[in-house]
Structure 1
């Protein structure tokens, strides 16, 4: 008769340990998931900002190329005189 009590106590203790470990793991998974979501949002914002910068850079490079061409053209004209 004593054996079932010992087994049930060990079983309850084991079950409690498993539940504590499970709760701890579940909490860690939730925190990781939240962290991942925050990182995704930050990357989206950064990508949106970068896309805006890329458009501006594209226009800037067109204008800088134009001014470079103008300067080169002016210098070649003055060299001909």
Structure 2
């Protein structure tokens, strides 16, 4: 019996990692073009990870969406808390 996990830990981890790197880069980099390029790359990479988890039949699509959205909520929450 194969058991799927809800939400996807891989999706949560990659979103958290990429947000942390993006936050660090945008704080130190003043060139907005580089910031937008990194944002596009990190968004594409997180979608790629989510796609591979569905393709390999390790998660359902809703597991990936739940992992991404729950981690984005956590990232935004901690960003607000750390900003003050």
TM normalised by structure 2 equals 0.32
Larger Rg: 1
TM normalised by structure 1 equals 0.34
Q: Which has the higher contact order (CA 8 A, sep 6+)?
A: 2
Structure in which a larger fraction of residues adopt helix: 1
